[in-house]
Amino acid sequence: MSKLAVAATVAILVLALSAGPALACPSGWGTYSSTWGDVSSGHWSFEYIRVVASPAVAWQSGESFWVAWPPHMQGWRFHYHPASTLEHGHWRGGVKRAFALSLPCASGGSITRASAASELIRAAGLGWVADQMTLAQAQAILSQFPDHAATPSGLYRDVAVAVWYGLMRGDDVPHVGLRLNPNNSLTREQGAALLARAALARVSTDRTSYFRTEAIQASGLARAVDPIVSETLRLHRDDHAQLASASGRSHAFAASGLPPGRYYAVYEFVTERSERILRWAPGWGFWWETVITRRTWRSAPAVFSVVNRLPAVTLLAPQGDQTDPQPLVRLRVHDADGDAARQLQVQVATDPGFGSLLWSANPHVTLSSGGEWTGHPSPLPLDQTLHVRARAWDGLDWGAWSAHSFAIRPPVPPTVQWLAPSGGSRVFYEGSLEVTFSGTVQTGAQFAQYELQAAVNPGFSPTLAHRLAPYSGGTARVTLTGLPGGNLWLRVRLQDSRGLWSPWGSVSLTLVEAVSPGAVPPPAWPGDGTDLGDPQSARERTRLTR
């Protein structure tokens, strides 16, 4: 190959590398990750740079996880320049690619270590941890670094989260000690370490929220340049107490019946690399030695929540007007999780805000989902609007209140209205008499029966007829027979389901018996013994002959 061809090949390769992560990986880079001219295998960032700069690292559906921060060609070897400043745009591109996010492009220039830590933990789904962390908790985490106070206040909690999860570990400055250096510009080696720690392993879950009775399904995903020899998927809660773990090559984890709270799943895997190293020692000479290097990688946590579906109470009674000063309280409890209600809280008050309680109960019960409870309060005041509410506790949380309004009205007896016959009337009687009446009853009560009496005197002693029969309301029609002609008194009263009787409703009337024509006596004529000279007899004769 001519010198011109070699120069052209090198120029093309350098242009391709400087084009950034959008370029496809050219062929022939199989040893790219292990042939750095300025990063030896003993360098602290060697493993991290191998991960983010190696086109051999596959991610998800065969997609390259190659971040491709542009290296530099010096002579015939690639130089990574690990201590050089990493441009903000290159860092943002690496975060976007590693976490498959749609982030706006960053402007040129550098990015501080604190800002990089903030972008990283929020891309990894850990922003909620920082948002809920108190300042005292963050200070306890960062107090190991003497310069932690130099961290910008708006990024302080984010940096604490990055340190807590092992994404940022500080700089070990010679003759000075461990320093956080939050405001220093991020270098290329530090950027490689941050990304590799957070993005090389990944945890996937079915969704971000589960109900308490559902099984949480999580799986671990790892891609490494070296063989994976073991994997572990751990499930933790907010307090970082490990609840369960799964090991092996199954990549899967399932758990159910977890208490409500915020959880995170962490995936760890161990890689192993075998290398043959030529060694020499005086008196021994040269020999080949196989060196096995193992390294543990830990994912950024996958965050999800376990939610308890609250018990719901349906308040069935009391509603509307009540007559009993100790009305029946009846409710039904339903829990979508199938939890049995363990305790109820029932209150009655004079105001809808329940500031003035008249009665309160907290019965400990064992109600199945959909079970009912009944009870009676202490005597309540009359003629006043009252408010009742109830809720249930399933052993974990209280459900929402269910409320109604009602009132206790004094018991009022029913009333009766005569419809026919009307009082003072003359009724022609032909062997039967139809009586009609109706009544009203207080809301909440029901009719039970009526009592009807007939007599020839207002004292109803003795009675000529007596009826006691069921009555359900509306217009009642009752037929009486065997009554004599002349003056007649009738009365009726109604009883409700509470045993209360209405006052008697009475009428008096005159029964006129109808007489057939053959039963009328013939008129008196002269010669039949009637004294025609008698004026009264004359008037009687005149009346009969008209």
What are the extents of the domains in the chain?
Answer: 3-178, 201-307, 312-408, 415-514
Residue 347, strand partner residues: 360, 389
CA distance 88 to 111: 5
CA distance 156 to 182: 9
Which pLDDT score, from 0 to 100, does residue 340 have? 82
Asked if the bond preceding 318 is cis, omega within 30° of 0, the reply is yes
CA distance 337 to 327: 31
CA distance 509 to 345: 62
| pLDDT tens, residue order, the chain (546 aa) | 333 333 333 232 222 222 333 322 222 222 334 456 777 777 888 878 777 765 544 333 333 344 445 555 555 556 778 888 888 888 888 888 777 677 777 777 899 999 999 999 888 777 877 888 889 989 999 999 999 999 999 999 999 989 887 788 888 777 777 899 999 999 988 988 888 887 666 677 777 778 877 777 777 766 666 777 887 877 777 654 455 555 554 556 777 777 888 888 888 888 887 878 788 888 888 888 888 888 777 776 777 888 888 899 999 989 888 878 899 999 999 988 888 888 999 999 999 999 999 999 988 887 877 789 999 999 999 888 999 999 999 888 899 999 989 998 888 889 999 888 888 888 888 888 899 999 998 877 889 999 999 998 988 888 888 889 999 888 999 998 888 888 889 999 999 988 889 999 999 988 887 665 555 555 555 555 545 455 555 444 444 444
213 — phi, psi (to 5°)?
A: -90, 0
Which residues contact residue 267 at a Cβ distance below 8 angstroms, ignoring those fewer than 6 apart? 201, 202, 203, 220, 221, 222, 231, 232, 233, 234, 298, 299, 302
Q: What is the DSSP letter of 308?
A: P
Beta strands in 7-59 (DSSP E): 58-59
Which pLDDT score, from 0 to 100, does residue 251 have? 59
3-class state of residue 538 by DSSP: helix
pTM above 0.85? no
Which pLDDT score, from 0 to 100, does residue 26 have? 26
* Segment (H or E) for 392: strand 385-393
Which pLDDT score, from 0 to 100, does residue 7 have? 33
- For residue 1 the two structure tokens come to 């190959």
- Name the nearest CA neighbour of 257 among 279, 235, 280: 235
The residue length of the chain stands at: 546
> Edge to edge, what strands does the sheet with 505-513 contain?
426-429, 505-513, 486-496, 447-455, 463-470
Which residues contact residue 512 at a Cβ distance below 8 angstroms, ignoring those fewer than 6 apart? 426, 427, 428, 429, 485
Does 3.30.565.10 match the CATH number of domain 201-307?
A: no
List C-alpha distances in Å: 150 to 34, 81, 110, 138, 262. Answer: 37, 27, 18, 14, 31
CA distance 68 to 63: 14
3-class state of residue 414 by DSSP: coil
CA distance 452 to 466: 6
CA distance 379 to 36: 89
Sign of the CA dihedral 171, 174, 178, 181?
A: negative
Q: Helix/strand/coil (H, E, C) string of 512-528?
A: EECCCHHHCCCCCCCCC
Helix axes 113-123, 88-99, angle to 10 degrees: 20
CA distance 478 to 467: 9
In words, the CATH class of domain 312-408 is mainly beta
Q: What is the DSSP letter of 381?
A: -
8 A C-beta contact, residue 96 and residue 103: yes
Look at the block and give the residue holding tokens 């962490």: 266
CATH code matching the domain that covers 415-514, chosen among 1.10.1660.10, 3.90.78.10, 3.40.50.300, 2.60.40.10: 2.60.40.10
Domains 201-307 and 415-514 share a fold: yes
354 CB-contact burial (10 Å; exposed 0-12 / middle 13-18 / buried 19+): middle
**First vs last Cα of the chain: how many Å apart?**
160
- For residue 395 the two structure tokens come to 């052993």
Which pLDDT score, from 0 to 100, does residue 242 have? 55
- For residue 284 the two structure tokens come to 């021994």
Provide the 10 A C-beta neighbour count for residue 530: 15
